[in-house]
Amino acid sequence: MAGREAGETGMDPGIALPPLEARLDAERLEVLGGFAVADGEDGFPAGTRTLLLLGPKEPGFWAHLQAQPEWGEPDPVDRWSRRVIGRIACDLGAKALFPFGGPPYHPFYQWALRTGRVWDSPVRLLVHSGQGLMVSFRGALALKEAVDVPPPLAKPCEACAAPCLTACPAGALTGAGYDVPACHAWLDRAEGGNCLSGGCLVRRACPVSQSYARLPEQSAYHMGQFHR
């Protein structure tokens, strides 16, 4: 992803902005997709021309996060996201937006679908071109400049046998949607230990997820937060 020349975007040529991808990589984050925002479009900070969705970059994200000062404090993942993405946004003259902290909440689900790199899966969870059903968003950058965004790709589910539809042992996550009480009830049972320790079996069943280097320890942490 590369920004256009300063004269094309209206950016002050005297501002030295760090290469965005290098900044993100240092924090083990990456651009998961983005899209152009129309002038005056509702739901975005004034002056926004591009929205970029950010998420963990593997391998390395989980170890990096655990080495940060927020780890061991309440809500370490969200607090780290606010600090890091907020600082990047400030340095770029952008606005940081987050999928937490509401209500009201920003419509990250709808924003993700606009990127052409994230889709609604057969089980209604979002599926990403490179992260599969393991996709998660730590925040977004609302930029005042028009920058190149990753191009749309073909939806991976079109040529997939959809093992996600039958992977949930509790029948809680299917094409009909997500039965959250049934999921919690299953996790309360001894048989739910595999889901708690290694992550949701539906997410793990996705062939794209299986090629993504997310650690089971990270999935176990989020499952524990979900089921506490």
Q: Kindly report, residue by residue over 23-76, the tens digit of the pLDDT.
A: 999 999 999 999 999 999 999 999 999 999 999 999 999 999 999 999 999 999
* 128, part of any domain: yes
CB 157 within 8 Å of CB 122 = yes
* 151, part of any domain: yes
* 131, part of any domain: yes
Q: What is the pLDDT of residues 116-138, one digit of tens each?
A: 999 999 999 999 999 999 999 99
* 179, part of any domain: yes
The arithmetic mean of pLDDT across residues 161-190, rounded, is 96
The arithmetic mean of pLDDT across residues 16-25, rounded, is 74
3-state secondary structure of 95: strand
* 1, part of any domain: no
- The dihedral built from the CA positions of residue 154, 156, 161 and 166, taken in this order, carries a sign that is negative
Which residue range(s) make up the domain with 111?
6-226
Q: What is the pLDDT of residues 208-218, one digit of tens each?
A: 999 999 999 99
H or E segment and range at residue 197:
helix 193-198
* 150, part of any domain: yes
- The dihedral built from the CA positions of residue 174, 109, 112 and 75, taken in this order, carries a sign that is negative
Angle at 97 between CA 92 and CA 101, to 5 degrees: 145
| pLDDT number for residue 148 | 87
Look at residue 6 and tell me whether its pLDDT is greater than 60.
no
Backbone angles phi, psi at 83, to 5 degrees: -65, -50
Between CA 175 and CA 136 the distance in angstroms is: 20
How many separate domains does the chain show? 1
Average pLDDT, the chain: 91
